[in-house]
Amino acid sequence: MQSYIVYFGAHSHGSEPTFTDQEHATDSHHEFLGSFMGCKEKAKQSIFYSYNKHINGFAARLEEKEAEEIAKHPEVISIFENKIIEVHTTRSWDFLGLEKSSDIPLNSLWKKARFGDGIIIGNVDTGIWPESKSFSDEGMGPAPSKWRGICQSGMMDEGKSDGIKCNRKLIGIRYFNKGAEEIARYLNLTIPSEFSFLTARDFHGHGTHTLSTAGGNFVANVSIMGNGYGTAKGGSPKARVAHYKSCWPPAFPGCADADTLAAMDTAIYDGVDVISASIGGKEDAEHFESGLQIGAFHAMKHGIPVVAGAGNSGPAPSTIRNSAPWLITAGASTIDRDFVNYVTLGNGKILKGASLSYQGFPPDENLYPLILPEDAMVPNASVAVAEDDRNSCNAKNILMDLKKLKGKILVCINKEQKATVHDISSLQPAAGANKDESEPGFGIITINDKESGNYLKANTDRIAMSSMNFTTGESIFAYIKSTKNPVAKISSAKTEFNMEAAPMVPPFSSRGPSKVEPNIIKPDITAPGVNIIAANIGAPQFPYKTATGTSMSAPHVAGIVGLLKILHPHWTPSAIKSAIMTTATTKDKSSRSILDTNNKEMTPFDYGSGHVRPDLAADPGLVYDLSVDDYLNFLCTRGTDEKIISMFYPEKTFVCRKSSNLIDFNYPSIAVAHLNDSVTITRRLKNVGKPETYNVSVEEPTGVSVQVEPKSLTFGKQGKEKTFKAVFKRDSNDKLDRYVFGALTWSDGYHHVRSPIAVKL
């Protein structure tokens, strides 16, 4: 007899259940199951866990037919098998090597850096849900003595028992909304101030998710309805964290530059050590026409690294955001874990999709009719729908006939991967089909358009749902056309591990080259950003959720930066960035070149220096360091007036170096935006390891010869700096108007200090 978990959501007895409350909950579980088994005593014998405190549900031994009947009950959110599962979550830290199957190796950066204990991570985002267990301060001492932050309560929090509160983990909370109010007033937007403008509480979920990814504490027994089960934690799990709310969705459409700048300014004052900012403009802004990039510049001056996402506008070239060289710009990658389910077609073909749906259709052998949006419309609704949108999941003006959907599986095209059950207005009325449980509701199969290709994101919903890639979708449409009565069934979701083709670059991750800064390769690095499990807001039955985007990649890197700050407290932000970049890998788990989800080989404009490797970043051997003066001279080479530059640094008199050249900016990657004949670049390396001799090797870009002098560098002691030059020369004068790629690596046999090369011919 199989064991199942039956899940109802949350209890009505609140967050502080008494013993009587718990007894009543258990009794209600016995009553419920007894109604299916014929008597309460049988139910008591079957149930071996009654979840009676916060989670409302039970685990019981059931016949398959009993499980099928229970799944039809309107009060049941889901019923799923009690499976044997591995201990993994978030899987990303295992994938990055900080742990191995939940065991932490002795040489792990986590252990070396005390899990980030002593560091303060600031997060600029949509607010915080302080009650999340990820921000528990259990076992933590007082905040560092340097801390000057506050726990700001808004009018919405005052006098409320559930008002926003800090602790020894979450040591600071502030909000900034004046810029948003001004924009709202200008645009005549109606903002419900009582909803979210007067509190730092997160009503969107983005900020809570990102901060817990960067610095969330260890939380055991986390899963998404049994999937991804394990211990959730951030990159610096023992760090203190502070949140600066400058973004106001859903009440306001984004973040105001004025608020972001105020948040950055205050974070610097408060004493944060790292800033994670998963935000960015619709286009890549000039460096000093962006609140984030200005704030990051001043943070850099104060020794505070700032990590930002590359943006989610890929895969087209030159879609990169946050290209300022003083930012660490993170692109997204997949990890070696998939959330999957399977669709069985009436012709017997079984197709793999992506899903985190809480349930499939009832666990029987029934197949359900497939229906296209154009066949489920209300009469005459198709008149206003463009031909290309007739079978789209995204079309806003398609109205569905609920009766046509009931008991069927809707098959629709998910354009640009932007549709979810919650976002598709045309499907919202159809959700009502589930209210009458006398017969099954409906399911959804979303299929990528050609542009989205084979990239899949697991959507979370209570409806049976599966996301299919373009290639698989073609076979589904072919099957529908081949028969008068196409049918299928959707399985429940499960977790699969150890995907060999990982990491991969998903299509949404924004690409270089930067239109604003073509002489610098951006993004700098890639990090996990697909189906990342981290803290959620609100609903106690769903304390953790998955999210996807470069917004998830940035806090991964910020958490790693926190560890490096502990291990190397005197390193500059640029030294930390260099260590992360020069130790990255451009290979996947099977030692092949990193690909995108359509199996196309990627370049530095897709993944930057490669995929982050935290343990190697702790000991890079050499770094390409940059001082504040170096950044100011960088501005000189861009044509910024010297008087203006001096205003960035009033503490001292600044004069532009006469010999400065933009191509000689001491960045850890090498970009030549236009190679006409030949060009010579200069770089400077600092030893942060033992005395060693390093030899150079070059992977020459196609059509370009590269000569480096000297070919070896000997460093006598830590802190010693040496300079080298590299001459890039075209092999022919043919104008190709395209980029070619290579790499330059210095190695002592143990360390491999690698810089990607991008040259436009």
What is the set of active-site residues? 125, 206, 551
Q: What is the 3-state secondary structure (H, E, C) of 337-387?
A: EEEEEEEEECCCCEEEEECCCCCCCCCCCCCEEEECHHHCECCCHHHHCCH
C-alpha–C-alpha distance, residues 47 and 3, integer Å:
9
Beta carbons within 8 Å of 16's beta carbon, 6+ residues apart:
none
Buried b (16+ CB within 10 A) or exposed e, 461-498: bebbbbbbbbebbeebbebbeeeeebbbbbbbbbbebe
| Nearest one of 157, 97, 100 to 129, comparing CA atoms | 157
Residue 10: Cβ-neighbour burial (10 angstroms; 0-12, 13-18, 19+):
middle
Among residues 442, 499, 452, the alpha carbon closest in space to that of 472 is found at: 452
Query: How many other CB atoms sit within 10 Å of the CB of residue 9?
Result: 16
Q: What is the 3-state secondary structure (H, E, C) of 450-464?
A: CCCCCCCCCCCCCCC
d(CA 577, CA 572): 9
Residue 38 backbone zone (phi > 0: left; psi -120 to 50: alpha; other: beta): left
* Alpha-helix runs per DSSP H in 515-664: 550-567, 573-582, 604-607, 614-617, 628-637, 642-648
The number of CA neighbours under 13 Å toward the Cβ of 445 is 34
Residue that has been written with the tokens 């959804």 in this structure: 444
H or E segment and range at residue 323: none
Phi-psi map region of 9: left, alpha, beta (phi>0 left; psi -120 to 50 alpha):
left
What one-character DSSP code corresponds to residue 576? H
Give me 120's structure tokens. Answer: 């303060």
CA 578 centroid distance within chain: 22
**What angle (nearest 5°) sits at the alpha carbon of residue 102, between those of residues 331 and 360?**
75
Task: Provide the residue type at 600 as one letter.
Answer: K
Residues 6+ apart with CB under 8 A from 193: none
Task: Check if the beta carbon of residue 238 is closer than 8 Å to that of residue 140.
Answer: yes
φ, ψ dihedrals at 395, nearest 5°: -60, 125
What count of other Cβ atoms lies within 10 Å of the Cβ of residue 18?
A: 10
Q: If you search the block for the tokens 């009993």, which residue do you land on?
A: 66
Residue 21: in which H helix or E strand, if any? helix 19-37
- Which of 563, 685, 659, 656 has the alpha carbon at shortest distance from 617? 563
Structure token digits, residue 629: 């003066």
First to last CA, the chain: 68
The CA radius of gyration of the chain, in Å to the nearest whole number, is 27
Residue 558: CB partners within 8 Å, gap ≥ 6? 121, 214, 215, 235, 274, 275, 276, 305, 307
Q: Which among 314, 311, 303, 250 is positioned nearest to 277, based on CA atoms?
A: 311
Provide the 8-state DSSP code for 603: -
Six-digit token string for 249: 């969705």
Q: Compute the distance between CA of residue 587 and CA of residue 594 in angstroms, rounded to an integer.
A: 5
